[in-house]
Structures are given as C-alpha cells and as structure tokens.
C-alpha cells in the first residue's frame, strides 16, 4: 500500500480497515480507509478522495456533483451525462446547461423575470427549465451569461437570447421593456461568446468583432460616448478584433 505524498509505504490500519494516507497541505497525514462508504453511494471513501469527490455527500453517478445538488438543480443523479457544462451566477440567480439536453435550468431570484421561465414566480428554490417567446423550452444552448438581474443564452446557431430586467437596454432588444421569456436579440448573429456586467452585456463574434449594449454611464461599452442607455447591440473597440471577452 502506497502512502501518498511522501513515498512512504506501509499498510496503515484504522479500526480494522485498510486504506491509504493522504499528505495534507499542513504536512499532517489523513488515513482514508478503503472499505468505508460514508455517504452510501457505492463508492468507498478512498476512491472518492482520489477522484476529488466528497466522501460525505452521495454522488451515485460519479459525475462530481452530489445527489442532493443534482436533485435541487433538476438533473438526474443516476446519469453521469446529465450534469452542468456551463454555469453562470448573477447577484442572486443562476443558470446552467446540463450536458445532454442543451436546455437551460435556472433558479434563485426571479422578481424581474431574470430566470426566463415565463413567469415572475419568486424565488425559485430548484432548477426550472427556461422558455423562449413561444413558451416552449429553449434548446440548443451552448453558453450562458448572467448580469445582476438579466440573463443571456448563446445557442448553437450563433444566435443570442435574453431575459430579465431591461431598464438600461441590457437585453439588447431595442427597447427598455423587461421580459420573463428568453427573446432573440435582433440582428445579432455568428456569436461565439457572451459576458455580462451588472447592467450591460458584451458579445464576441466569430470574426473577432465585439458588441456591447446596456448601461453606459461611464463609457463601459467602449462605443465612444457615455450615452446612458444603449438598447441595441453596437460594435465596440473600433477596428480592433478580440480574442478574449470578460465583463
């Protein structure tokens, strides 16, 4: 039996159970018995610690997300493929994309419709699938971005959808009307990445062009002015082309 961290070998025992020893950051040793399964998920504590998952919270499908977290979020705790691929959080709400479906789940604060579920039900205590303007589940999502009280989804065809508060035009819908359903941003195509600040939004196109809209009181959109409300996407950065995007 290898004692990990220092190369020391041996067969440590604890209450009759064999295991291995982990070297902690403070140079102390922790004995992890192989035969104990504290959370009862069928994976012994030792294997869970080696895999980086918690031995104290059941993870039946071994995808790194605990069963309790998956149940709360609305994903299948027995399916290793049904777990988040993209996740983003605002001041009080969260969006994420499970691996298999391409749908988006949202939970948390929703008083402004920022979860995009077709209602202002508030708060959402577990994951609810978001919807488009037709009231049907939005599919094909590949990325999400979240501001203070607005949310955005990038679809696999390069189109962008927005929901939530819109007092500064941060949804990019050419108006300041809020919506609780994800609505396609007109004229915005071939997008490959999104980012959101509190009340403004950035998008990055496949040609390297960046777009910005929303609150602009201190020129954070980079559009050459400080016009407070920019309700439609506009090119930012002049003739420059971008390779990274953050807000």
> Taking the CB of residue 191, how many other CB atoms lie within 10 A of it?
22
- pLDDT tens-digit map of 183-209: 999 999 999 999 999 999 999 888 888
pLDDT in tens, 152-187: 999 999 999 999 999 999 999 999 999 999 999 999
CA atoms of 180 and 115, how far apart (whole Å): 7
The predicted model scores a pTM of 0.67
- Please indicate whether residue 47 or residue 17 has the higher confidence score (pLDDT): 47
Q: Residue 26: CB partners within 8 Å, gap ≥ 6?
A: none
Answer positive or negative: Cα dihedral of 103, 108, 113, 118. positive
Tell me if 200 sits within 8 A of 170, measured CB to CB: yes
Per cent of the chain over pLDDT 70 is 68
Task: Return the residue matching tokens 């919270």.
Answer: 57
The answer to whether residue 149 scores a pLDDT higher than 80 is yes
Q: Which has the higher per-residue pLDDT, 25 or 9?
A: 25
Q: In the prediction, which pLDDT does 42 show?
A: 72
Question: In degrees to the nearest 10, what's the CA dihedral of 46, 52, 58, 61?
Answer: -110
Query: Per-residue pLDDT tens for 18-51?
Result: 555 666 667 676 665 556 777 677 777 767 666 6
Q: Render pLDDT for 48-90 as a digit per residue (tens, 0 to 9).
A: 666 666 676 777 777 667 777 666 666 677 777 666 667 888 8
Q: With beta carbons less than 8 A apart as the criterion, state whether 111 and 117 touch.
A: no
């Amino acid at each position: 039996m290898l004692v990990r961290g220092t190369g020391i070998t041996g067969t440590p025992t604890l209450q009759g159970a064999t295991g291995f020893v982990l070297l902690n950051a403070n140079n102390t040793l922790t004995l992890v018995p192989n035969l104990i399964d504290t959370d009862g998920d069928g994976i012994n504590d030792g294997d869970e610690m080696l895999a980086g998952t918690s031995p104290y919270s059941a993870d039946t499908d071994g995808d790194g997300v605990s069963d309790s977290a998956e149940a709360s979020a609305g994903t299948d705790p027995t399916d290793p493929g049904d777990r988040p691929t993209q996740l983003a959080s605002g001041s009080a709400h969260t969006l994420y994309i499970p691996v298999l479906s391409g749908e988006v789940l949202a939970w948390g604060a929703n008083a402004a419709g920022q979860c995009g579920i077709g209602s202002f039900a508030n708060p959402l205590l577990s994951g609810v699938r978001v919807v488009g303007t037709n009231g049907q589940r939005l599919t094909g999502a590949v990325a999400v971005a979240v501001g203070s009280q607005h949310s955005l989804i990038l679809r696999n065809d390069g189109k962008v959808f927005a929901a939530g508060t819109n007092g500064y035009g941060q949804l990019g819908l050419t108006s300041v009307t809020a919506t609780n359903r994800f609505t396609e941003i007109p004229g915005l195509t071939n997008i490959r990445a999104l980012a959101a600040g509190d009340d403004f939004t950035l998008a990055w196109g496949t040609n390297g062009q960046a777009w910005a809209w929303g609150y602009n009181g201190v020129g954070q959109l980079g559009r050459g002015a400080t016009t407070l409300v920019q309700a439609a996407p506009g090119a930012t950065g002049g003739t420059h082309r971008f390779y990274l995007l953050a807000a």
